[in-house]
Amino acid sequence: MRILCLGDSIMQYNDFSTFPQTGWVQELRRFFPDDTVWLDFARNGRSTKSFIDEGRFERVMTEAQKGDFALIQFAHNDEKSADPTRYTSCEKGGAFRKNLSYFVRELRSKGVKPLLLTPMARRMFENGEIRNSHGDYPLAIIETAAEEKVPCIDMNLLTMDFLSKCGETSSRRFYMNFDAGLYENYPEGKSDNSHLRPEGANAFSKIAAKEIQKISEKFPDYKELSESCMKNTACRFDDIGENEEIDDEYTVFQK
């Protein structure tokens, strides 16, 4: 099975040079069999508009194969109204919805099964309450998915709920928001409530994995994706005893 990833910096692969910043898809792969092939086209700072204008979607289409699945998650940069190279309107008839539909239809034409996701929540609290920083963009994604008859995971809502339960102080550990002296790449520390650290990427990918498992209930064509998710025994969440060890030799050493 192959999974294509289209998105921005929240999804992109990060190497040693930006550690501890971690794209959530880097952690999502832990919940799939080792022979799953991941093609991560997501890149820092991209919107649906710039992803198309820079030829990145053209590259996706070149690599895409019949039977692939595609995770599509944008909005963080489409929202930037001051930047005409990236901004797209999320209103009905706006470029954001049109671009998402374009992605879906073009991928389907190659036999790829697309999955839309709303953006991960930013860590934005007001008076101790988490707030939606993405405006109407999540709704635009949900409505576009319904129109195109493809599955959608509302990660904005799910991660907002998760952060609300964690609280403002405790949730800091999930983001690139930390004091000086902790990481070699950022000796002065960082105050970033959008990008994720490994713990945040893992927590959010776990939320996504649980939703992916359910997709085939309404979309039978996505059965392979749903049934592959959390297939490895090392990915069990709920039935591990307090003192039980997980035997993950299969995951680590399988050829």
User: Closest Cα partner for 12 from 26, 30, 1?
Assistant: 26
Q: Does position 241 have pLDDT exceeding 70, yes or no?
A: no
Please give the CATH topology (third level) of the domain spanning 2-178+191-235. Rossmann fold (3.40.50)
Token pair, residue 143, equals: 């409505």
Taking only the tens place, the pLDDT of each residue in 156-200 is 999 999 999 999 999 999 999 999 989 899 999 989 899 999 999
Q: Does position 242 have pLDDT exceeding 80, yes or no?
A: no
CA 41 to chain centre: 12
Token pair, residue 240, equals: 């591990």
Q: Does position 250 have pLDDT exceeding 90, yes or no?
A: no
Cα(72)–Cα(141) distance, rounded to whole angstroms? 10
What 3-state class would DSSP assign to 203?
Answer: helix
Mean pLDDT, residues 148-152: 97
Amino acid 128: pLDDT: 87
Amino acid 219: pLDDT: 96
Cα(214)–Cα(197) distance, rounded to whole angstroms? 26
DSSP state of 222: G
What is the value of pTM for the model shown?
0.87
Cα(250)–Cα(237) distance, rounded to whole angstroms? 17
Taking only the tens place, the pLDDT of each residue in 35-54 is 999 999 999 999 999 999 99
Amino acid 73: pLDDT: 97
Taking only the tens place, the pLDDT of each residue in 71-90 is 999 999 999 999 999 999 99
Amino acid 232: pLDDT: 53
Amino acid 254: pLDDT: 38
Q: Does position 30 have pLDDT exceeding 60, yes or no?
A: yes
- Interior CA angle at 21 toward 242 and 82, to 5°? 135
59 pLDDT tier (thresholds 50, 70, 90): very high
Percent of the chain with pLDDT over 70: 91
Taking only the tens place, the pLDDT of each residue in 205-233 is 999 999 999 999 999 999 999 999 987 54
Mean pLDDT, residues 200-205: 95
User: Closest Cα partner for 92 from 84, 82, 100?
Assistant: 100
Amino acid 239: pLDDT: 46
